[in-house]
Structure 1
Amino acid sequence: MRRRNLLTGAMALGATAALGTSSAEAAEGTVEDTLFRLPSAPPVPLARLTQEIMKARADFRAAHYTVLGQSLARLLAAATATRDAATGHERERANIALARGYVLAAELALKQHDDSAWVAADRALTAARASGHPVPIGESSRVLAITMRRPGRIPAAVQFLGHEAKNLDTLRPQTGAVRTTLMLTAAYTAANGGDRTTALDLLNAAEEETDRWAAQPNPELFTVDANKAQVDVYRIGAHTALGTPDEAVEVAARLDIDRMPTAERRARAWTDTARMWHALGDDRQTFAALRHVEQEAPQEVRRPAVRALTSDLLYGPTRVPGIREFAGRTGASFA
């Protein structure tokens, strides 16, 4: 009941040919190019489509963003054609695959600071709702809320996440896990709006949810996890956003990033740790965390937000050994 009330309170505020990528198409483009220039493609067998969606997911989780970007256009085109040709239960499954393809497109656009993330997230949620399945609906809702947060629509994003989370069944591990990820995103969103009470209450509620399922195998979600480590990562980010990074130091000390299952999540954790140290004025610790990001996911350090952080160190008053070379190979000296 407390968690329900908390959310209410937050609210008040040709298979291979179709899916392959030719060498001519291997040049990296923006997600916007992908979304508005989908090629024609025939339907493919659902098993093949699901396999290719999972391959694209693996590229994202490994932080192979260039490879993912190269495959998205044909993947989304094939998924759309397959959905349009299907009926009944097969159409539901095709809509799930299509929704998850657009979730990946939205995630990639968000990393590129590409405004077309709005389009991808909206298309993801439309396909997810058409499938009628709560897990992809939750996954799509999460990325849509992030696109709302970026331009400052924070109260609307928190309200939307609260509404979607409230509608998820907490008795099943997978839907409960998705609900937890929505609460974590809502907590970080509230923190970006300076709402400390809502942010910390949502983080505590999310932690209670992970405790509830601690004795069971952790349900596998599509792009993010719902476990204690993720709660701690979001705590670090939330405290930094709230202007209280000192409260995150103890959290960072207990977080075992090496045990996190994917390169993308490990890189995200090190990025949030770098931001924490930067907010505390410790340039050497900031750079050490950025080096960990590079070790985990070299393409992650070329993201605009991470390059901006590197530039702050490069042009800051403290001399940080190795930062100039790091900035040069990550493109930050030109940010």
Structure 2
Amino acid sequence: MRGARNARHLTQEQLGLMVGYSASAISRIEGNKMRLDSDVVPLMARALAIPAEWLSGAAVSEGPTIATVATGGTPDEEDAVRRRKLLTGALAAGATVIVGTGTADGLPAADLEDILFRLPNAEPVPLANLMAQTAAARQTYTTARYSDLGRTLPGLLATAEATRDAATGRERQQASAVLARTYVLAAELASKQHSDAAWVAADRALSAARASGTPVPVGEATRVLAITMRRSGRWSSAVHLLTREAAELDTTDTRTGAVRTTLLLTAAYSAAAGGDRTTALTLLDEAGEEVERRPAPGGLFTVDATRTQVDVYRIGVFNTLGTPDDGVKIAAGLNIGRMPTAERRARAWTDTARMWHALGDGQQTFAALRRVEQEAPQEAQRPALRALTSDLLYRPARVEGLRELAVRTGALA
């Protein structure tokens, strides 16, 4: 990659802009400290004018095979050591932003140091007030108002930390659960930008969740931590962590059953990222059965456990496995408009856009990208979506209205 980039006289920043990564991410990939997302490989190959096969080694899974529900995966001690090493590596790499630049993409310029290591001073508040503030922040996220959330998070995290520190007994456990959910939101937001800050936020979320002794926030925090593991190429560790946590949840309770479904869905996508089709589809089927047995109440999590959500994940899994044609029939039967939040509807249209893009249908890809923008303009401005829009723009077939979309979303300056 470095040789091809230099041959084309591109800086790391210029290459990053072409594929939706930061300059530091390009540096880490070239230094073999970070893996390429599978859907970025064709964009990177086109930007560098090299065959995609040359980049396959930068996007494959780690050496061990994917851990499945049946095999159990790596031992707990190895998993814990690996997690600590990964977290240390992320911090040592000097990750500096949680959600992007705050300029062209409309996302907040929230500095990692300011948010996670230099929280503003805050006083504890009544637990009911903190819960209301956290619920409002979640609403901001699910309506895809990421700039607003970025401005809210520093104060919310500081208040949640102060409230937890001042509490005792049962109230401290409850405050820990709320604190965990604020860090989950920070990790979700960081993941939108493929930022290493997600490691820090997810690790803190899980620590607070475990202190709460409550399974729901533990499940939520486990999910966002596993996503960061997957993005770093640790697919098997992510599957093992998710399936282990899912197995420990009470399957008779509606709330924990819903968390279990989201863990299984994330595990399925992680298995697909490692190329394990059998495990991915098995986990999807298990999630679907969970939804049929026990419909989940809405509004509990950033990802709802519904049949439509399972189908959207199935499309994403097929895209990741390299068989997007398997998702066409599923996409035809989707009613994305019935999904409860703008963020999830935009995510569903994103997976649909990637499916059509992989199948070479520019018109359908553009139509799906327009739906992303209609549902959540800031979602359409994410680097990964800008890269997809840019790639479509420079394909031979002309698509009416695409150039205007590229300008609006920052894919074309």
Change (3 A) 1:6 1:149: closer
Question: Whole-Å Cα distance in 2 between the matches of residues 218 and 11 of structure 1?
Answer: 32
Q: Structure 1 counterpart of 2:189, which letter?
A: L
Alpha-carbon displacement from aligned partner over 1:137-192 (angstroms, at most 9, x marks no partner): 00000000000011111111111111111111101111011011000000001111
Q: Distance in 1 between matches of 2:162 and 2:352?
A: 42
Aligned to 1:255: 334
Paired residues of 1:31 and 1:105 also in contact (CA < 8 A)? no
Partners of 1:31 and 1:286 in 2: CA distance: 34
Q: 1:284 to 1:211 in 2, by over 3 A?
A: same
Cα separation, 2, equivalents of 1:190 and 1:84: 38
Corresponding residue SS for 2:397: coil
Q: SS of the counterpart of 2:377?
A: coil
Q: What is the CA deviation profile of residues 192-222 of structure 1, one whole-angstrom value per residue up to 9, with x for unaligned ones? A: 11110000000001000001014xx635422
- Per the normalisation by structure 1, the TM-score is 0.91
8 Å contact kept, 2:272–2:280: yes
User: CA contact under 8 A between 1:10 and 1:158: conserved in structure 2?
Assistant: no
**Which residue is equivalent to 1:155?**
236
Unpaired stretches in structure 2, ≥5 consecutive residues: 1-66, 76-106
Q: How does 1:128-167 map to 2 (within 5 A)?
A: 128-167=209-248
Equivalent position SS for 1:222? coil
TM (norm. structure 2) is: 0.74
Do residues 8 (structure 1) and 70 (structure 2) align?
yes
Match among 170, 181, 188 for residue 262 of structure 2 = 181
Distance in 1 (alpha carbons) for counterparts of 2:349 and 2:294: 26
Q: Which amino acid aligns with 2:310?
A: V
Aligned residue number for residue 67 of structure 1: 148
Q: CA deviation at 1:113?
A: 1.8
Check whether the contact 1:173–1:219 (CA below 8 A) recurs between aligned residues: no
Closer, same or farther in 2 for the Cα pair 1:154/1:229, shift >3 Å?
same
Name the CA distance, whole Å, in 1 between partners of 2:189 and 2:337.
Answer: 23
Question: Is the contact made by 2:346 and 2:372 (CA closer than 8 Å) also made in structure 1?
Answer: yes
Q: After superposition, what is the alpha-carbon deviation per residue over 1:220-264, rounded to whole angstroms, capped at 9, x for unaligned?
A: 422110110110010000000001100000111111000111000
Secondary structure at the aligned position of 2:70 is classed as: helix
Report the secondary structure of 1:106's partner residue.
helix
Map 1:124-273 onto structure 2 (within 5 A): 124-214=205-295, 218=297, 220-273=299-352
Structure 2 distance, partners of 1:220, 1:327, is 33
Q: How high is the sequence identity, in percent, across the aligned residues?
A: 65
Task: Render the CA deviation track for 1:249-305: whole Å, top value 9, x for unaligned.
Answer: 011111100011100000000000000000111011001000000000000011111
Shift of 1:325: 1.1
Report how far residue 27 of structure 1 moved: 6.8
Corresponding residue for 1:37?
118
Q: Would the alpha carbon gap of residues 65 and 166 (structure 1) be closer, same or farther in structure 2, given more than 3 Å must change?
A: same
| 8 Å Cα contact 1:293/1:300 also seen in 2 | yes
The question of whether the paired residues in 1 share the 8 Å contact of 2:319 and 2:355 is answered with yes
2:368 is matched with: 289
- Over aligned residues, Cα RMSD in angstroms? 1.7
Contact 1:60 1:264 (C-alpha < 8 Å) held by counterparts: yes
AA at the equivalent of 1:54? A
State the AA in 2 paired with 1:331. Answer: G
**Alignment-mate amino acid for residue 55 of structure 1:** A
Do 1:183 and 1:206's aligned partners in 2 also have CA atoms closer than 8 Å? yes
- What code does the residue aligned with 1:106 have? A
In 2, the alpha carbon distance for the partners of 1:144 and 1:306 equals: 23
1:321 positional shift = 1.1
Q: How many residues align?
A: 316
Contact conserved, 1:35 with 1:120, CA < 8 A, in 2? yes
Q: Which has the higher helix share?
A: 1
Looking at structure 1, the residues matched to 278 and 108 of structure 2 have their Cα atoms a distance apart, in angstroms, of 46
Deviation by residue 1:18-60 (Cα, 9 ceiling, x = unmatched): xxxxxxxx97424554122211111111111111000000000
Whole-Å separation in 2 of the counterparts to 1:281 and 1:275: 10
Mapped partners of 1:12, 1:183: distance in 2: 18
The answer to whether the Cα contact below 8 Å between 2:356 and 2:365 also exists between their aligned partners in 1 is yes
Which residue number corresponds to residue 377 of structure 2?
298
